[in-house]
A and B are shown apart, each in its own frame.
Chain A
Amino acid sequence: EVQLVESGGDLVQPGGSLRLSCAASGLMFSGYDMNWVRQAPGKGLEWVSFISSSGYTIYYANSVKGRFTISRDNAKNTLFLQMNSLTADDTALYYCASDRSVSGSRTYGYWGQGTLVTVSS
């Protein structure tokens, strides 16, 4: 069974930083592209960042570009999101989501349960 388990969410002040992690099991992690997708309270889904299976290709949403950094450790089956200069607009439940396929379909086949980031003073 595939499991993606996010951690690291917390209450942080505006301007602060957080590092989210997503531990994967039950899939060949190194073969899958990975993503972070967020959902603000009561709102829809917003894609945040993409990293290819090798880690060489990375994309960011304009809303987080220059502030967030995605990375992965394929030896430890773990995905990361370093979040800096946080604002209230970053308050959301952050999901990690794997591609549906090792061939890279840019669809999200597996999801974690999410980790909550709250930015507030």
Chain B
Amino acid sequence: DIQLTQSPSFLSASVGDRVTITCRASQGISSYLAWYQQKPGKAPKLLIYAASTLQSGVPSRFSGSGAGTEFTLTISSLQPEDFATYYCQQLEAFGPGTKVDIK
């Protein structure tokens, strides 16, 4: 089974900051990786699929890159509504999550 790890597990940032989250797979998964955002008390929301394709309606400040075993989610300019937990996912595996908090 594929294992996904994320780093960092927690990050503190300010509005306007550029934020990067990394997801690593235990074996190569081509570009089959998705990213989700979850706010407290809410269901997760799909942000990016196929490693770099933005889901419809998701702001363009979100971007994804990578292939094989290493992937990144970047928020180019952090907005107040972006403070949340972010998960990567491939098939049945989810990463442990990265919580983005306000500095």
* Minimum CB–CB distance for A40 against chain B, Å: 12
Q: Are A44 and B55 in contact (CB under 8 A)?
A: no
Q: Using CB atoms and an 8 Å cutoff, list the residues of chain B in contact with chain A.
A: 32, 34, 36, 38, 43-46, 49-50, 55, 87, 89, 91-97
Can you identify 6 A-B contacts, CB atoms within 8 angstroms? Answer: A44-B87, A100-B46, A107-B34, A107-B49, A108-B89, A114-B43
Q: Tell me which residues across on chain A come within 8 A of B38, comparing CB atoms.
A: 45
Establish whether residues B92 and A50, one from each chain, have CB atoms under 8 Å apart when the complex forms. yes
Which residue of A has the minimal Cβ distance to B94?
Answer: A45
Interface 1/0s, chain A 37-59, versus B by CB < 8 A?
10000001111001000000001
User: Given the known A-B contacts A44-B87, A44-B97, A45-B87, are A109 and B92 also in contact in the complex, defined by CB atoms under 8 Å?
Assistant: no
B51 to chain A, nearest CB (A): 11
Q: Mark A76-117, 1 if CB is under 8 A from B, else 0.
A: 000000000000000000010000100001111101111000
Closest to A6 in B: B43
Q: Do residues B46 and A47 form an inter-chain contact, with CB atoms below 8 A?
A: no
